[in-house]
Structure 1
Amino acid sequence: MSQAQSVRTLRIGCEFNHVAQSATPASFLVRPAGQAAIVRELWTADPATPATFLHDLYGNEFRRVILPAGESLVSYYAVVEVPDELDAADPGAVLSPPESLPGETLLFTLPSRYCQSDMLSSAAWERFGDAERNFELVTRIQDWVWNHVEYRTGSTGSWWTAKDSFEAGYGVCRDFAHLMITLCRALNIPARYVSGYLPDMDVPALPTPMDFHAWVEAYVGDRWWTFDPRHNARRKGHVPIARGRDAADVALVTSYGAPWLRRLTVWADEDLSEPWPPADVSMVARDPFGD
């Protein structure tokens, strides 16, 4: 990160407390993507568990482990620097026609499991087909999704698709992202799903506990741009973890079994009043239930 650029320092992290009936293979996709300015970081597991690091076909890095039988805690902690500025925008950028798009973007114009752009094609063209094809069109799609979908904590699950959100009019952040991606793709605009951390920087803090976040990257002009339909605003502090066609490609945890997730805790803020990573990362020390 440029020395001339003003930056702010965040603590980010997560703890996954599982209970498994037997040894269970699993992978964790929670480390910030390669371009993140990581100051320090720590992966831990209690009980200690051997791990390997691999990359998926999108270049996302994940940690592969075997969760032991019984209770376990897998944690990731990091301090990162982010620009003290809003997500970049270019109102003058123009959308490319399909025949001019870079080959690597074409995958992100196609329907996928949660983003059925073929099913919502007519709806997309009815609402946006006459608009000028530029950056502002993508902003209009984001605005429409934000106005159409009511945010309801915990209202949907892994079965819920963009079509469901379109018809029901509610969802969580991943559903906002899926619906915006779907409408963009229906209009031949490459769009991909991003999972990551988002602190409440220079905005009122949400009343709900911190969680992972999901947003959209759309290809306009000659690059990918960040759009956040859950908030319908340019924000500070987006820290991407992974990118894919939709949430199916970037699951935070993939387990080859059925362990119970007893607790998930996520941090993304500027509170560095205590040591980070924590001084004691054992399961006993990190258990808020105290049992």
Structure 2
Amino acid sequence: MLIRYGYDFTLYCARETPVVTMVSARTERAGDMLCPEVHTRFPDVEEEIYTDSFGNICRRFNAPSGVIRLHGVGYMRDSGLLDPVTPDAPEHDVSDLPDEALMYLLSSRYCEVDRMSQLAWDLFGNTAPGWGRVQAICDYVHGHIRFNYQDARNTRSAFDAWQEGRGVCRDFAHLAITLCRCMNIPARYVNGQLGDFGIPYTADPMDYAAWMEVYLGGAWHTFDPRNNKRRIGRIVIAYGRDAVDVPMITSFGPHLLQSFTVITDEVSEADLAQQDAAQ
């Protein structure tokens, strides 16, 4: 399948403001891109592209005073298969983990491992280690939190989400990540695009999605506590310790997000050929 993905944002800044966006697909999928992504700014201010310490692609520019529109589009080939399942993937002893995985065992801004450790061991200490334990954590989080777009709050931590029992996809991810880390399973936060492929259509506007990856059996594996099912066509934009590391827009000064559209849909190469011919 061929996925068209992208965004269209409008920002207002009262004065010239430095901005960093994180909206490009990670380079691991570069071989699946039909063509390079196209990113434009109106007005067309100069940008610099760099890679952060997690390998995420960042775009840096100065937004002028007034309104600026940010637009991007890419085309990604995808297998159309569901997220893989590896039920025999084992946990690792901490002493056997690679150095780069250790940071994903520690507390972070939204994932209070120290505060939730006893709860995690009470809930999952008798669960068989490995894939099944992570799935049990996802089952618990999926059942414990009530999803509602109106319940979004950017200050809510994993502990808050557990106490309140409500939130959005980032809250599901933060709570599941924290419980995994409490059980000495490395877990990282993922921000990406996930279209409504292979599921019933919903009228909800498209948005970025959050899920997690856990380190089992020498590899990182996708788990999605918000949906709690395998899905088709994930496009990873960024990952890090939690949502602090993967902001879609960071402005060094106030900005107002006037409009916000996320694009993730299936297209055919014939459709693209017709569009190119029309242009």
Query: How far apart are the structure 2 equivalents of 1:9 and 1:267?
Result: 13
1:187-214 CA-partner distances (Å, limit 9, x unpaired): 1000000000001111112331000000
**If the length of structure 2 is used for normalisation, what is the TM-score?**
0.94
- Normalized per residue, the structure richer in helix is 2
260-269 vs 36-45, which deviates more?
A: 36-45
Residue number among 117, 140, 143 corresponding to 1:144 in the alignment: 140
Query: How far apart are the structure 2 equivalents of 1:75 and 1:110?
Result: 36
The answer to whether structure 1 residue 82 and structure 2 residue 75 are counterparts is: no
Query: How far apart are the structure 1 equivalents of 2:41 and 2:150?
Result: 28
1:222-243 CA-partner distances (Å, limit 9, x unpaired): 1000001110011111110011
Q: Which residue of 1 aligns with 2:167?
A: 171
Which portions of structure 1, spanning 4 or more consecutive aligned residues, are displaced by more than 6 angstroms? none
Gaps of 5+ in 2: none
Residue number among 57, 63, 68 corresponding to 2:59 in the alignment: 63
**Matched-pair contact (CA < 8 Å) for 2:2–2:267:** no
150-159 vs 8-17, which deviates more?
A: 150-159
Shift of 1:170: 0.6
Q: Which residue of 2 aligns with 1:39?
A: 34
Residue number among 7, 13, 20 corresponding to 1:27 in the alignment: 20
Q: Which residue of 2 aligns with 1:135?
A: 131
Shift of 1:38: 1.5
Shift of 1:84: 1.4
Shift of 1:99: 1.1
Query: How far apart are the structure 2 equivalents of 1:274 and 1:213?
Result: 26
Secondary structure, in 3 states, of the residue corresponding to 1:119? helix
Query: How far apart are the structure 1 equivalents of 2:271 and 2:232?
Result: 23
The RMSD of aligned alpha carbons is 1.5
The answer to whether structure 1 residue 259 and structure 2 residue 251 are counterparts is: no
Shift of 1:156: 2.4
Secondary structure, in 3 states, of the residue corresponding to 2:200? coil
Q: Which residue of 1 aligns with 2:69?
A: 73
Shift of 1:124: 0.5
Residue number among 14, 17, 22 corresponding to 2:10 in the alignment: 17
The answer to whether structure 1 residue 123 and structure 2 residue 116 are counterparts is: no
1:59-85 CA-partner distances (Å, limit 9, x unpaired): 111100111111110111111111211
Residue number among 223, 238, 249 corresponding to 1:242 in the alignment: 238
1:119-147 CA-partner distances (Å, limit 9, x unpaired): 11111000001111111110111111101
Q: Which residue of 2 aligns with 1:194?
A: 190
Secondary structure, in 3 states, of the residue corresponding to 1:111? coil
Query: How far apart are the structure 2 equivalents of 1:181 and 1:206?
Result: 27
The answer to whether structure 1 residue 221 and structure 2 residue 221 are counterparts is: no
Shift of 1:271: 4.2
Gaps of 5+ in 1: 1-7, 280-291
Query: How far apart are the structure 2 equivalents of 1:225 and 1:206?
Result: 27
Secondary structure, in 3 states, of the residue corresponding to 2:150? coil
Q: Which residue of 2 aligns with 1:184?
A: 180
**Matched-pair contact (CA < 8 Å) for 2:7–2:261:** yes
